[in-house]
Amino acid sequence: MKINLYFYTRIRILFNMSNVREILRKQSFSKEDLLILLNADDKETELIFKKAADVKAKYVGNITYFRGLIELSNICSKNCLYCGIRRENRLIKRYNATDEEVINAAKYALTRNWGSVVLQSGERNDKEFIERIEKLIKSICSLSKTKPGITLSLGEQPEETYKKWYDAGAQRYLLRIESSNKELFDKIHPNDKFHNYDYRLESLRNIKKIGYMTGTGVMVGLPFQTLEDLADDLLFMQEFDIDMCGMGPYIEHEDTPLYKYKDLLLPIEKRYELTLKMIALLRIIMKDINIASVTALQAIKPTGREEAIKIGANVIMPNITPVKYHESYNLYKGKPQIAPETDNYIKDLEKNIQNAGDDVGYGLRGDSLHFLKKNKN
């Protein structure tokens, strides 16, 4: 019996759409549910995005919070196989912003009524670095009568270092797991004692135990990565009960060992679309956490960050690092070389956020509601 291909295709599409609708009505998702949603086509994905936007509006509101990002140094002790500032990359110019430059950048954010800043750098855990960060945290806290939100993204550290920085005034810590699959984690890191999956997990547990709003995240579209890995990543973040997330598309860098696997990668547009889907699904399953719309989305598509805001993200981190250092903090190929310190840039960013349906949360720290609810007692 011959089958009319058109009607067969229509029936399949309608069946799949119905299946996606049914899953989206559930209170919780199984791994199998997530795999179906991650594999959704464009029409089905519209349903996912609509659901995520509704969840965001209901549980965290249509507000986007600015976090002034200060990339204070690209000096790193780690040698991750995907990263452009890895220790063994001799082709980049290393820098270390001065304390004055870091404080001035923080002042820029706070005088413009942003409630928070992010301190990010290559990973170090020597005494000089630890004491410097402690001093910078205290200095930034002293800039405002209302204690500003300070997020740290400074890698794996001993528990006592996390405690020292927390006591100095930092409230949030972002440490990406990169992949919750240990086997994949090992493939994108050197096989040595300095790059250890179990230690990464222990560090995350210590961050949480100390009292930080705890954030993690993954790269989407890595070589060797499967949709099953991504479904497990979502479940990992849910089970770990994170308070905030920063995840973005993997963008290859030609000066890294992982670049040799570039032919295994999904097209960059697919990695972008898959990242948006991951953000939307995370918003649906973790309704009141903070989710960052990362710069890597903008590297692929100029409006990438705003598109993520529409479907679940609620944090944007304008780069307020001194412009002279931008080119040297080159984690991946195509990182936007922009000068966000200009008022025109910020006005355009605010307009884009409003076009995406949000207001900017000026004067607010934008603490994770998920964290606040857990700790209200």
pTM for the model stands at 0.93
Break the chain into its structural domains and give their ranges.
29-374
Nearest to 52 by CA among 369, 309, 288, 284: 284
Q: Within 13 Å and on the Cβ side, how many CA atoms surround 228?
A: 3
Per-residue pLDDT of the chain (377 residues; tens, 9 = 90+): 333 433 333 334 444 556 999 999 999 999 999 999 999 999 999 999 999 999 999 999 999 999 999 999 999 999 999 999 999 999 999 999 999 999 999 999 999 999 999 999 999 999 999 999 999 999 999 998 888 999 999 999 999 999 999 999 999 999 999 999 999 999 999 999 899 999 999 999 999 999 999 999 999 999 999 999 999 999 999 999 999 999 999 999 999 999 999 999 999 999 999 999 999 999 999 999 999 999 899 889 989 999 999 999 999 999 899 888 888 887 666 665 555 446 777 888 888 899 899 999 999 999 999 999 998 85
- The Cα–Cα gap between 173 and 166 comes to 9
CATH number listed for the domain at residues 29-374: 3.20.20.70
